A = this chain, B = another copy of it.
Amino acid sequence: MSKRPKVVIAGAGFGGMQTAQSLARSGADVLLIDRNNYNTFVPLLYQVATAQIAPEMIAYPVRTILRGRQRARFMQAEVRRVDFEGQMVETSGGMVTYDYLVLAMGSRPRFLGVEGAADYAMPLMSLEDAIALRNHFFECFEQASRTLDSQRRKALLTFVIVGGGPTGVEMAGALVELVRSLKRDYLGLDWREVQIILVQSGDNLLINLPARLGRYTTRKLLRLGIKIFFNTKVSRVAEHSVVFEEDTGDRHERMTETVIWAAGLEAAVVEGTAMSAKERQQKLKVRSTLQLEGYDNVYAIGDLSYVEQDGKPLSGVAPEALQQGVTVAKNLEKQIRRRPLKAFGYFNKGRLAIIGGYGGVGKIGPVLLTGFVPWLMWLGVHGVYLPGFRNRLLVLLSWVQNYALSDRAIRLTIRS
């Protein structure tokens, strides 16, 4: 081939980074584009939000991963539009042409049309989100500590989490741990005024796992002092309040300064994508090879693509995106050499979810786990998968401090 093929990867999350890394010896020119100059280790965002670890510990510079590779480049820019016919990506840093394109921009919060949610609810999908939440928590405690108006103080100490999936559950548990660690700091506060409310639309938590694990999680969270509103939706979020709507039709309002949005996400579909290419939750229709329906030279992976396995959609966890990245890299190499492509198949090593208070749940093959063992496994697996030796060491040191001293060192409101 006279000219080296140019692969553009849009997004440096789990899927995009893995694709770039797996293409290292492909002979292709690789351009990786992301709005941030770092890869975010999303599973630990909730620990940043609850002041357990510092934001830098789960951010890994993209350029470190591409170091020493002459044919791999990085561009920090927003992807604005794709011209699939003209094979061009429009970014905030200019137009970029491609021979092959990998769409891996992930997802954004899905507010489901709930009034005020986009303005006042706080998502937990980016490092900025996590820092904003951490800053917000400490502002609530600081303000509560000097407020004499008991109504206002209760609102400041009421934390509502919308969504009973893994993110909602881990935030609820971590918030309890955070509150416990703060008792030494705010001696004048009446801790009975603190309320953590988890709102779930259905009648069980963690619905992507066997029902027994959801029931265990429910009992564990209740024991930690969390209120769970089952069969309840949030119908409105305002600056100082939230409205709950039960399945029975009953509505009630609660004063709060904090509504954390963990109620789902939708694909961050880029402009230029035909409506016909979209599936559920804005996700992109892809073939078994992960090629975009209608375009042989475009792949879509991670939260952006709709992939079924055994008749069920993938659940949007990191290992799926990582494995898709490997498959896409292999398929790109085959495609460049004009060989037949391979279908993607997800190999499920198991699922773990952390609850907090030394508890977790998991499903490894047919085995269901609850309690301390899956809790420790969750931390172990995420400690090992965290990119970078430095970050692994610092997170490990932080965990030792958090659990040995029940302390939170990052109790800081830092803006920038």
Contact = CB atoms under 8 A, between A and B. Distances in A.
Interface of A: 36-38, 54-57, 59, 61, 63-64, 67-68, 70, 73, 75-77, 93-94, 127-128, 131-132, 135, 138-139, 142-143, 145-146, 184-188, 388, 390-391, 393-394, 397, 401, 409-416
Nearest to A185: B63
Contacts of A77: 146
A415 B130 CA distance: 11
Copies in the complex: 2
Given A56-B414, A393-B397, 4 more contacts: A61-B412, A75-B145, A93-B143, A388-B409
Nearest to A405: B390
A414 to B, nearest CB: 6
Nearest to A54: B56
Contacts of A57: 54
Contacts of A412: 37-38, 56, 59, 61
A372 to B, nearest CB: 26
Contact of A37 (B94, B187, B413): B413
Given A94-B146, A138-B37, A146-B75, A414 B59 contact: yes
A76 B128 contact: no
A415 B63 contact: no
B187 A76 contact: no
A131 B75 contact: no
B54 A131 contact: no
Contacts of A56: 54-56, 409-410, 412, 414
B146 A67 contact: no
Nearest to A408: B61
Given A37-B138, A142-B37, A413 B131 contact: no
A188 to B, nearest CB: 8
- Which 7 A-B residue pairings sit nearest by Cβ, starting from the closest? A131-B416, A63-B185, A54-B56, A76-B142, A61-B411, A38-B412, A59-B412
Contacts of A55: 56, 414, 416
A223 B56 CA distance: 33
B409 A390 contact: yes
30 contacts: A36-B413, A37-B138, A37-B411, A37-B413, A54-B54, A54-B56, A54-B57, A55-B56, A56-B409, A56-B410, A56-B414, A61-B409, A63-B411, A64-B185, A67-B185, A70-B187, A73-B188, A75-B146, A76-B139, A76-B413, A93-B146, A128-B414, A128-B415, A128-B416, A131-B414, A132-B416, A135-B416, A391-B409, A394-B397, A415-B416
A135 to B, nearest CB: 7
